[in-house]
Structure 1
Amino acid sequence: MSRIPTHTVENAPAASQPLLRKIVQATPGGRPANLHAQMAHSPAVLTAYTSLRAVLTDQSTFTPKMGAALTLAAAAGLGNDYMVRIASRLAQMNGWSGDQVTALTTGTSTNDAKTDALAGLVREAAANSGNVADATWNVARQAGWNDEYLTDAFVYLGATVFTAYFLNYAQTNLDI
């Protein structure tokens, strides 16, 4: 059972309503997912979440497709089923095939060594509280990822950790 109330746009705190409304407009079902509806209980949480999402959209050096791969790799590393489902759906919407989604989740090959190297780094960081072995870092560097991309990958890890931890914290009911 979830620990935090689940809101609609109408009964969310006033400061959360505009953000929740924007989320609903971008959602195929026309209603907020449980995670957004619970985040809305705290305008600070919902603002932090939407700010992280906006940064990923507006300032990342990665394409949406690669960003979706990094989000999925991070979700898999964290092991949160709700987050893996969200990220899998996002990855498919951004052009990853079903087999590639499985590969990004399990750490097997997507048939793109460069993607696999960076996804592996992010998955390892997610599973180890941000720690990555030098060997993993070097594989990503050798695959062609420079400091800018390696640094930028962190925001996908951070946004995924924020979301997954909230889901665990709130015991959000799976609705995806």
Structure 2
Amino acid sequence: MSVHSWRPLIAALADDRAREVYALVVLGRPLDAHLSSLSPGKRRRVLETLQGAGLISPVDGGWRADSEIFRTALAAASAPARPEGVARFFTDGRLSTYPSRAADRQEVLAHIATRVVQPSETVGEAAITDRLAAITDDPVSMRRYLVDAGLLARTPDGGTYTSASSSPSGGPS
């Protein structure tokens, strides 16, 4: 089955009359009264659409619902690629989940640090907070986490920040 095998299912179920007939088949109800209300051409098209989509199949002069078609279509559909590494904690460039594992936290913090300050760049407190606000809902706490993790160095008065790898001491102050 192809990755587009869901299309005939949706097309069949998008038709009100086909959906009604399918519902009756699923519920095990008789179709004669409902089908007789349709013109012969429409009756034929509805049944062909449902059968062609794999939703129903003939059995003993009637019809039965084939639910396996849904599992088959889902199995054939391509699943979106799962993000890996630090990307799994971000949605549209913003931190969506703060990791609970220390190793993951350190990776996420290192990633954020490289996004907010370049090596040998000195940035004021307000600018760092603004840059972090583009990444996280709590930029003040994130600034503290980056300093505590040794990824940002700040001056004693807290007015400016640099990448800890470019600070004279190589670590937080």
Which structure: greater strand fraction? 2
Q: Return the structure number with greater relative CO, CA threshold 8 A, min gap 6.
A: 1
Q: TM-score normalised by the shorter chain: which range applies?
A: under 0.3
Which structure: greater helix fraction? 1
TM-score (norm 2): 0.26
Larger Rg: 2
